[in-house]
Structure 1
Amino acid sequence: MPKPTKGPRLGGGPAHERLLLANLAAALFTHKSIQTTETKAKRVRPLAERLITFAKRGDLHARRRVLSVIGDKEVVHVLFTEIAPLVAEREGGYTRITKIGNRKGDNAPMAVIELVLEPVTKKATSVKKSAKAESATPAPAAEETPVEEAPAEETPEAAAADAAVEETPDDAPAADAADETPAEEKSE
């Protein structure tokens, strides 16, 4: 649990703030998305992400530490069994805060904090590959990868064939060797 900040606290004293943040985190894990004020959303984010990190560990000690903060066994069970496997590959950034404008009654700035449960997509390493990935569908892109690797493997064989062609003294056998090289590539 983060150390309470100096200055005004959410709702009163440090104990009340701790309970308020724990209840917000429990509601976030139960409903996957909650609407609250921007200040509360920004304050609950580090707590929620820390609890999700404990849930990813999944051992008994982590479960007991989360249970000491939240206190509701059903919410802890949902966190460990449903949410943790969905974010297992994600290295952080388990929550997203979206500002939605001001509340009608008191004009308080409101926000939606939600869990990011989408699978992680890896970024392309070069600009050319990312342009191909955007223009092509995911299935053909996966098929193109082995095709690109195959010529790289054939390159040493082609270099050996070219070296054999250069060693021949007559032009006619060199032409025959050049004609045989594409036939070998087609058969592979």
Structure 2
Amino acid sequence: MRHRIYGKQLNRTSSHRRAMFRNLAAGLFEHGEIETTLPKAKAVQPFVERIITIAKRGGFTARRRIESMLNDRKIHAWVADPNVPDGKKDNDYFDLPEESEIEFNRYGEVRKAPRLVQHVMTAIAERFADRDGGYTRIVRTGRHRLGDGTDLVILQLVGEEDGAELKGGTPVRRQQANRRAAFAAKLRKGGTAAATQEEAAIAEAPAEEAVADEAEETKPTDAAPESQNDSGGDEAAGGEEKKD
């Protein structure tokens, strides 16, 4: 029976799962975002946020606790690696060290580089100094891993950006709302003019109808004398013929 078992097991032993959480958290703190599967991202998210909360307290005790939760190691050594493309050396989350700050020995091993725990205590803690919880987000990419087809997501640190600034434009819903607001304002602005035009049209309609009625009434009266004159002329012509 599943008694006294906390969290997702992820089909791993406790030691394997702890090591996996440490590696995922270290990669997230170093790069600002990582790509992993959805179950792993959901499982490691509370672990990462707990470390950030402890780092914000500061002090020697907080540092000791973080060292017990993470494996302190050298980070950002890839900045000085010539095999890494320049396009991958840009980071939108942190200020990367200069290449001169990273040193290698004659065997190619990293001799001097920033430390992970120090990076968490300074850069990460200062980044979320004014934020109470919710330091990470899970972004669904819609892609699937080859083989088992599981969902791939991006686990990243929350920044200072807004929703509209993520893609550099106005969201579709906001564009629709703006168009509707502009259309409503146009209707309100042109409502008075349209009302006056309708009133003028309604007032002109009876006058036009009255003029048309008068014209129809005058037409038969004008035609009657003409018919009488025509009949009189015919009678006169007939009388003259009889006299002849």
> TM-score, normalised on structure 1?
0.58
Q: CA deviation at 1:71?
A: 1.7
Q: CA deviation at 1:5?
A: 3.0
Please say which of residues 72-81 and 107-116 is displaced more in the overlay. Answer: 72-81
Aligned equivalent of 2:83? none
Question: Partners of 1:106 and 1:79 in 2: how far apart?
Answer: 34
Match of 2:153 among 78, 100, 111: 111
Relative to its length, the structure with more helix (as a share) is 1
Aligned equivalent of 1:99? 140
Aligned equivalent of 1:18? 18
Question: Partners of 2:16 and 2:5 in 1: how far apart?
Answer: 11
Aligned equivalent of 1:81? 122
Q: CA deviation at 1:119?
A: 7.1
1:44 paired to 2:44: yes
Aligned equivalent of 1:185? none
Using the aligned pairs only, state the percent identity.
43
AA in 2 matched with 1:114 = Q
Question: Partners of 1:86 and 1:98 in 2: how far apart?
Answer: 20
Question: Partners of 1:68 and 1:53 in 2: how far apart?
Answer: 15
AA in 1 matched with 2:22 = A
Q: Secondary structure at the match of 1:99?
A: strand
The unaligned stretches of length 5 or more in structure 2 are: 74-114, 163-177, 179-244
* CA shift digits 1:42-93 (9 cap, x unpaired): 0110000000001101111011101101121511111111111011000010
AA in 1 matched with 2:16 = H
Q: How many residues align?
A: 118
AA in 2 matched with 1:69 = M
Instruction: Specify whether residues 63 and 21 from structure 1 end up closer, same or farther in structure 2 by C-alpha distance, changes over 3 A only.
Output: same
Q: Secondary structure at the match of 2:10?
A: coil
Question: Partners of 2:11 and 2:34 in 1: how far apart?
Answer: 18
Q: Secondary structure at the match of 1:110?
A: strand
AA in 1 matched with 2:135 = Y
Instruction: Specify whether residues 115 and 10 from structure 1 end up closer, same or farther in structure 2 by C-alpha distance, changes over 3 A only.
Output: same
Aligned equivalent of 1:64? 64
Question: Partners of 1:95 and 1:79 in 2: how far apart?
Answer: 14
Aligned equivalent of 1:5? 6
Q: CA deviation at 1:23?
A: 0.9
Instruction: Specify whether residues 94 and 15 from structure 1 end up closer, same or farther in structure 2 by C-alpha distance, changes over 3 A only.
Output: same
Which has more radius of gyration?
2
1:90 paired to 2:131: yes
Question: Partners of 2:152 and 2:128 in 1: how far apart?
Answer: 26
Instruction: Specify whether residues 49 and 4 from structure 1 end up closer, same or farther in structure 2 by C-alpha distance, changes over 3 A only.
Output: farther
**Does the aligned pair in 2 maintain the 1:87–1:119 contact within 8 Å?**
no
Q: CA deviation at 1:11?
A: 4.9
> TM-score, normalised on structure 2?
0.45
Instruction: Specify whether residues 98 and 30 from structure 1 end up closer, same or farther in structure 2 by C-alpha distance, changes over 3 A only.
Output: same
Question: Partners of 1:4 and 1:62 in 2: how far apart?
Answer: 27
AA in 2 matched with 1:92 = G
